[in-house]
Amino acid sequence: MRRVLRNFLSPVYKLYEKRLERQIRKNKVPEHLAVIMDGNRRYAETLGILPHEGHIEGKTTLENLSDWCRQLNITYLTVYAFSLENFNREQEELNKLMDLFEESFRNAGDDPRVHENEVRVRAIGHREMLPDKVVKAIEYAESKTEKYNKFNYNLAVAYGGRQEIVRSMEKIAKKIKRGELNPTQINADLISSNLYTSGLPDPDLILRTSGEERISNFLLWQLAYSELYFADVFWPEMRKIDFLRAIRAFQMRKRRLGH
């Protein structure tokens, strides 16, 4: 029923979408957009399809999002694809997801759009926990795009925000133990430089789909001053108009960093 209604309203949405995009282009857009892609499984459940089929449709939405960001010149895109907690899912679903990750990273390394637009592709997270085939696919995409810097596409896989901070502390502690660092030198910049996102600006806007209003252990250190936007739509159903509404909401806010 929802699809029928959307198809009926599609011409109206297209007109509104074009108008909204024109307005957005007149103002500053986020430099770094981070996205929690939530709702693949619930979307699949509403349609009576298997969970991994929901993830496949979500992959198409992610490809669209990457295009939308480039169109608005959003330089950095970081998406939360797979958390450490997700390893607790059924083995069959995990196997399907790992196959999808392998395919996605391989495709990213070969995608003409990636090379034409000079998109650097990276994975952040505990990749040592991933199957070898996925790690090799990640390394393939990263090596094929490592010289690009026009756009940056980061996929958080086997990622946890708390665990990332702990890892940063461990790296700093080892430097202190080796005598390379004095404890008095520890500051926020040092911690940031030892995170997976070292060298990347903190996200200006964090977008979460599915209507849930929580961060779920995503970029906990980096989101200190990020704007948050929660969209009441399952990830595979997110349209460009939903994306544009999030950007417009960001533009309408008066950012008071630290206040």
Average pLDDT for 66-76: 97
Tens-place pLDDT, residues 217-245: 999 999 999 999 999 999 999 999 999 99
pLDDT at 14: 85
Asked if 187 is an active-site residue, the reply is no
Residue 259 has pLDDT above 70, yes or no: no
Rounded to two decimals, what is the model's pTM? 0.92
Classify domain 30-146+202-216 at the CATH superfamily level. Answer: Decaprenyl diphosphate synthase-like (3.40.1180.10)
Average pLDDT for 86-102: 96
- Asked if residue 204 lies in contact with residue 227, where contact means CB atoms within 8 angstroms, the answer is yes
Active-site option among 38, 111, 154, 204: 38
Structure tokens at 199: 């060298």
- Asked if residue 251 lies in contact with residue 27, where contact means CB atoms within 8 angstroms, the answer is yes
Neighbours of 51 (CB within 10 A): 19
Asked if 38 is an active-site residue, the reply is yes
C-alpha closest to that of 130 among 70, 163, 82, 92: 82
132 CB burial (10 A radius; 0-12, 13-18, 19+): exposed
Ranges of each domain in the chain: 30-146+202-216, 160-195
**83: which DSSP letter?**
E
Average pLDDT for 247-256: 89
Structure tokens at 200: 């990347």
- List residues bridging with 159 in a β-sheet: 83
Tens-place pLDDT, residues 134-148: 999 999 999 999 999
Tens-place pLDDT, residues 154-169: 999 999 999 999 999 9
Tens-place pLDDT, residues 23-56: 999 999 999 999 999 999 999 999 999 999 999 9
Phi, psi of 201 (to 5 degrees): -70, 150
Structure tokens at 191: 């911690």
Active-site option among 64, 86, 117, 194: 86
d(CA 14, CA 131) in angstroms, rounded, equals: 42
